[in-house]
């Protein structure tokens, strides 16, 4: 019988070309998914390196600050504060409601303030131009000087005497001459003359 040569066809280790391409595509997809993760990991590591000194500084500063209150700090006081806060949760809720109401009030009043505040400023500026505030300051200075020379009892007596002006009788020339002998009358006339002189000088002074 003639000998027949049988050739054995070797199978590629990864199959045909199509299978290799599929494997490469999967590897590409995996690489595309892994690359952002790796980049994020690198960014996080860099951020950690940058923040670590700052965090350490903050921790050291916090330790120093807490060391100042360490002697006065008592865990019992903290627990008492927590218990007290838990007992007054209703008050906290009411406070928050009032805060919300205040915020709503401010929001509603803000448009009115925008229109009224300029008018108030304009009115105050007009008073300032008319020297109203200067007159008020001068009046306060006069009042301070007056109270420095007269006691509250003196002021009460002056007010009582002024209330009798409406019932004062008419003075005849003879009674006027006799009144000049009264020291209080002469002192009052001197005060009136001095006041008249001051008012006249103030009126004639240049503005």
**pLDDT at position 155, please?**
81
Where in the chain are the domains?
Answer: 18-73, 81-121, 131-168, 169-201
CA distance 76 to 83: 10
Give helix 132-149 / helix 89-129 axis angle, nearest 10°. 100
| Upper half-sphere CA count for residue 2 (Cβ side, 13 Å) | 3
What per-residue confidence (pLDDT) applies to 51?
80
pLDDT at position 125 is 92
pLDDT of the chain, 207 residues: tens digit per residue = 444 444 444 444 444 557 777 777 887 788 777 777 777 777 777 877 888 888 888 888 888 877 777 677 777 888 888 888 888 888 888 999 999 999 989 888 888 888 888 899 999 999 999 888 888 998 888 888 878 887 888 888 878 877 777 777 777 888 878 877 888 888 888 888 888 887 787 777 665
Q: CB neighbours of 127 closer than 8 A, spacing ≥ 6?
A: 133
Question: What does the pLDDT read at residue 8?
Answer: 46
């Amino acid at each position: 019988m003639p000998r027949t040569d049988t050739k054995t066809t070797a199978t590629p280790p990864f199959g045909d070309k199509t299978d290799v391409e599929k494997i490469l595509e999967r590897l590409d997809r995996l690489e595309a998914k892994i690359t952002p993760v790796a980049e994020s990991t690198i960014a996080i590591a860099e951020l950690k390196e940058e923040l670590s000194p700052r965090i350490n500084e903050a921790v050291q500063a916090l330790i120093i600050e807490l060391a100042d209150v360490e002697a006065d700090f008592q865990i019992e006081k903290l627990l008492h504060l927590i218990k007290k806060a838990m007992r007054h949760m209703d008050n906290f809720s009411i406070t928050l409601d009032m805060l919300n109401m205040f915020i709503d009030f401010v929001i509603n009043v803000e448009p009115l303030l925008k229109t009224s505040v300029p008018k108030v400023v304009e009115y105050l500026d007009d008073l300032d131009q008319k020297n109203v505030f200067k007159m008020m300051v001068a009046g306060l200075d006069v009042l301070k000087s007056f109270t420095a020379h007269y006691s509250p009892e003196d002021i009460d007596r002056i007010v009582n005497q002024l209330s009798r002006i409406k019932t004062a009788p008419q003075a005849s020339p003879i009674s006027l001459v006799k009144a000049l002998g009264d020291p209080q009358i002469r002192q009052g006339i001197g005060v009136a003359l001095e006041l008249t002189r001051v008012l006249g000088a103030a009126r004639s002074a240049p503005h």
